[in-house]
Amino acid sequence: MNPRIKSWAWQGAAVIAVALLATWFSHNLSTNLAVRGMQVDFGFLASRAGFDIPFRLVEWDSSYPYGWALYVSGVNTLLASALIVVLASLLGLALALMRLSGNPLAAGTSRAIIELVRNTPQLVQIVFVYVAVLQVLPPMRQSITWFGSIFLNVRGLYLPSPSGTAYDWIITATVVIVIAAAILWRRLGLIAAPRLVVLPPILILGAVIAGFTASWDHPVLRGFNFVGGTRVPPELLALVLGLGIYTSVFIAEIIRAAIEGIHRGQSEAARSLGLTANQSMFLVVLPQALRILIPPLTSQYLNVIKSTTLGAAIAYPEVLQIFARTVLNQSGRAVEVMTLVLGVFLVVNLLTSAAMNAWNRRLTLQGR
Amino acid sequence: MRPLIRALFGTKLNAALSLLMLAAFAFTLPPLFRWLLSDAVWQAENRAACTAAGSGACWAFIRARFALFFYGQYPEPERWRADLGLLLLVAIGTGALFARRGRGWWLAALVTIVPVAGGILLAGGVLGLKPVPTPNWGGLLLNVVISFVAMAGAMPLGILLAFGRRSSYPIIRWISVAMIEFWRGVPLLTILFMGLVLLPLFLPQGVTVDNLVRALIVMTLFNAAYMAETIRGGLQGVPRGQAEAASALGLHPAQVQLLIVLPQALRLSIPGIVNIAVDLFKDTTLVSIVGLFDLMGVVNQSMKDPAWLGLAAEGYTFAAIVFFFACLVISLGGSLLERRFGVGQRR
């Protein structure tokens, strides 16, 4: 057969099959909706929600519209994701260093933790932390107290919260400077050291200075409740701890594989050129390992954003819990709600992976 | 003894690390051991009796609910059917793993006899077996059923999508890419919700789909996308010369792909496929959030039983242990398969 005709025939068949399936689905959908006396209409997003969101970073009360709830819960999802990514990266790095330390005790412990955590479901871990650890904490009056101003009890973790104009300015300035420096590092060429070594301490230093200038609002027990400070609800704690630990073992394995993937000759050559062990690690091995690290690390971070939906199991008010549960139950608009929820995750995932791919491509091109 | 001491206390840093680790062990291991074993209670009537008998874990709870954890509400006189189905799966699965000759027949049996016979055994309604509706299926049985069906369905679909993504016809490629990236871009739990609330709307009016079947459909499609990417990796790993040599020998392009390239690609993707199987088995717990009573769901429910109220730590520890060993078995089977096929040894 003529390859051109064949190509058209196959592709035409595929198009027709997909079109038929789509028409069948949309026909079924419209009949089903017509029977229920409904139609696809996103107008309900503007109507009054009338429910409370127990934990939020942005304004919300029950008079706000449904559409705003997507924003509130989206911020909650991003907050949980960010905290999990930080915790998992730090824990993962620690586990990887333990594994690579050459100390049999540390390496064995790390290995045991990794195997144990990664072979049990993440849902079991999250719910375990929530139900078996956080819900059996003492009540308000017998809170576990650290330094007189951090309280842990069954209602959550109470932290002192900083505030003040100077504090806000210093934090903003530090973050802006660090991000700008991270992007323009090579072009600035200030110090001949990798940014991974220089920038995190600057960030910490900025936070410490800001902390000294801030006025701290300490939580105080008044009657039956704490006044002042910030409350981290147990749902968020459980999600961050459970998922953070679960993700950290995968990150540990990724880091280990990346460092072990660098040919021994590289560090041997660096040592024979007179570099110290630290220099060879930070200037020769780590920059190369970073290159292998980025693609799998990206997919882990994307998994974290997706896995925060497990917060629905412990009623953490994230996108799925608020939208696919509360809003769906109240409004009954299954098609619209699920389209929005799926759309949000799809867009976030595709955008993040596109950005990380671009960064990865730049890293790969440099110096090869 | 010498090398061990040097490894543990050779340098100052190492010695500090070792001491730190030993201190951490001293702090965590004895209480853990006491709770898990030495202070644990193995026989008691209810929670109150448990607390009276010892301060450790109340394993009597697990013993009392053991059958529930494995079969859910599956009626007791019919449980032999679930056992027989599982036995069939294990027997034919082991056969496929260890067979020296006729592995194709074993695999064919795995994807035909096991689902058909297993389905008849579990659901009943024919051959004089009492029908057991799916809401009564539960416990670990449900996790196994979902994993097996999703895996068996995802395999052919994934192969199809992987070939589609490598196709030289742009339209077929785009359709495959859209399909794969959609399922990979959204969380499993939202997909389960989608199956729960959206799937019935997309089916003809009057057609009702069982809750379990909805979960099975979306789990299969979800895993097919991941399977497609793994198999695509395998397809890329097969040297071009293989396909060229096969074409030169006069094989039809379809024969080249199905008989020469695909078997080698599948061999290369074994580690990835095993990872998918482990992840899938762990993620079957998510169905407990959409109202099915798998092992996780049954544990959640049992803790609300007044006689055993609030024994969360025991319940979830037990679930974790079961999943740990199940995943270990899958991983071991996988590495056995890898060795059988010499993955990473011959090219």
The answer to whether the CB atoms of B186 and A346 lie below 8 A apart is yes
> Look-up: residue for tokens 């794969």?
B180
pLDDT in tens, A290-320: 778 878 888 888 889 999 999 999 989 999 9
Tokens 């990798």: give the residue: A194
Q: How confident is the model at residue B228 (pLDDT cuts 50, 70, 90)?
A: very high
Give the pLDDT of residue A122.
93
Summarised one tens digit per residue, pLDDT across range B150-182 is 998 999 999 999 999 988 888 999 999 999 989
Tell me the two tokens of residue B110.
């795995």
Going by pLDDT thresholds of 50, 70 and 90, the confidence category of residue A365 is: low
- A200 with A211, same domain? yes
Do residue A202 and residue A317 come from a single domain? no
Same domain, residue pair A151 and A167: no
Cross-chain Cβ contact A35/B317 below 8 Å: no
Mean pLDDT taken over chain B: 86
Q: Is residue B289 part of a domain?
A: yes
In a domain, A351, yes or no: no
The one-character DSSP state at A140 is G
Check if the beta carbon of residue B319 is closer than 8 Å to that of residue B311.
no
The helix/strand/coil state of B249 is coil
Cβ of A132 and B316 within 8 Å? Answer: yes
Q: Is residue A19 part of a domain?
A: no
Contact B286 A123 (CB under 8 A): yes
Regarding whether A318 and A263 lie in a shared domain, the answer is: yes
Judge if A126 and A212 occupy the same domain.
no
Number of domains chain A contains: 2
Q: What is the pLDDT of residue A367?
A: 47
**% of chain B at pLDDT higher than 70:** 98
Residue B347: the pLDDT is 47
**Which structural domain range is residue A213 located in?**
161-217
**How far, CA to CA in Å, does A179 sit from each of A78, A166, A174, A185, A210?**
19, 20, 8, 10, 17
- B332 close to A (CB below 8 A): no
Can you give the CATH number for the domain in which B254 is found?
A: 1.10.3720.10
E strand or H helix at A152, and its extent? strand A150-153
pLDDT at B102: 75
- Chain B residues with beta carbon closer than 8 angstroms to that of A35: 205
Mean pLDDT of chain A: 85
Considering the domain architecture, whether residues A169 and A302 belong to the same structural domain is answered as: no
Of residues A129 and B336, more confidently modeled? A129
Q: What is the pLDDT of residue A368?
A: 42
Burial class of B345 by CB neighbour count within 10 A (0 to 12, 13 to 18, 19+): exposed
Farthest-apart Cα atoms in chain A, separation: 86
In a domain, B306, yes or no: yes
- Angle value at C-alpha B227, between B226 and B231, nearest 5 degrees: 120
Confidence grade of residue A363 (pLDDT, cut at 50, 70, 90): low
Question: What is the pLDDT at residue A262?
Answer: 81
Provide the shortest C-alpha distance from residue A165 to chain B (in Å): 40
Q: How many CB pairs under 8 A join A and B?
A: 151
The answer as to whether A28 is a domain residue is no
Cβ–Cβ under 8 Å, residues A215 and A163: yes
CA distance A154 to chain B (A): 15
Q: Do residues A118 and A245 share a domain?
A: yes
The pLDDT value given to residue A291: 77
Has residue A358 been placed in a domain? no
Tell me which residue range forms the domain holding B331: 58-74+132-341
Q: Is residue B205 part of a domain?
A: yes
For residue A343, pLDDT over 70 is answered with yes
Q: How far apart are CA B68 and CA A127, in angstroms?
A: 20
- Has residue B8 been placed in a domain? no
| Domain-located, residue B163 | yes
Rounded to two decimals, the pTM is: 0.88
User: Quick one: A200 and A329 in the same domain?
Assistant: no
The answer on A165 and A111 residing in a single domain is no
| Residues making up chain B, counted from first to last | 347
Paired strand residues for B100: none
H/E segment holding residue A144 = strand A144-146
Closest residue of chain B to A105, computed from CA coordinates: B18
Q: How far apart are the C-alpha atoms of B194 and B238, rounded to whole Å? A: 37
Residue B314 domain flag: yes
Distance from CA of B8 to the nearest CA of A (A): 6
Specify whether A295 is located in the same domain as A257: yes
Residue A362, pLDDT > 80, answer no
Output the pLDDT for position B1. 60
- Chain B contact for A128 (CB, 8 A cutoff): yes
- Residue B334, pLDDT > 70, answer yes
Phi-psi region of B127 (alpha: psi -120 to 50; beta: other; left: phi over 0): left
Could you read off the pLDDT of A209-268 as tens digits, one per residue?
888 888 888 888 887 788 878 888 999 999 999 999 999 999 999 998 888 888 778 888
Q: What is the C-alpha separation between B156 and B114, in angstroms, rounded?
A: 16
- In terms of C-beta distances under 8 Å and separation of at least 24 residues, what long-range contacts does B332-336 make, across chains too? B333/B93, B333/B97, B333/B274, B334/B270, B334/B271, B334/B273, B334/B274, B334/B277, B334/B278, B335/B274, B336/B97
Give the Cα separation of A128 and A134 in Å (integer). 9
Tell me if A99 sits within 8 A of A256, measured CB to CB.
Answer: yes
Q: Domain holding A268: CATH number? A: 1.10.3720.10
In a domain, B24, yes or no: no
Residue A119: list chain B partners with CB under 8 A: 278, 282, 323-324, 327-328, 331
- CB atoms B296 and A328 under 8 Å: no
Q: How many domains does chain B have?
A: 1
Say whether residue A102 is in contact with chain B using an 8 A CB cutoff: yes
Write down the pLDDT at residue A309: 93
Query: What is the full DSSP assignment across A297-328?
Result: HHHHHHHHHHHGGGGGGGT--SHIIIIIIIIH
Residue numbers of A between 248 and 307 with CB closer than 8 Å to B: 306-307
Residue A366: per-residue pLDDT = 54
Cα-based angle A351, A354, A360 (whole degrees, multiple of 5): 140
The pLDDT tens digits of the residues spanning B126-158 come to: 777 788 888 888 889 999 999 999 998 999 999
Same-domain status, A318 and A236: yes
Residues of chain B neighbouring A132 (CB-CB closer than 8 A)? 312-313, 316
Alpha carbon of A124: minimum distance to chain B alpha carbons (Å): 6
Which residues, numbered 129 to 188 in chain A, qualify as contacts with chain B under a Cβ-Cβ cut-off of 8 Å?
131-132, 135-136
CB spacing of B21 vs A324 below 8 angstroms: no
The beta-carbon contacts of B7-12 under 8 Å, at least 24 apart in sequence, are B7/A102, B7/A103, B7/A104, B8/A103, B8/A104, B8/A105
| Residue A151 DSSP one-character state | E
Closest Cα in chain A, distance from residue B326 (Å): 9
Residue A18 lies in a domain: no
Q: What digits encode the pLDDT tens for the residues A9-41? A: 888 998 999 999 999 988 988 888 888 877 777
Is residue B161 within 8 A of residue B182, CB to CB? The reply is no
**Judgement on whether residues A183 and A329 belong to the same structural domain of the protein:** no
Q: Which secondary structure element, helix H or strand E, spans residue A153, and what is its range?
A: strand A150-153
Q: Is A230 helix (H, G, I), strand (E, B) or coil?
A: strand
Task: Name residues 305-344 of chain A within 8 A of B (Cβ).
Answer: 306-307, 309-310, 312-313, 320, 324, 328, 334-335, 338, 341-342
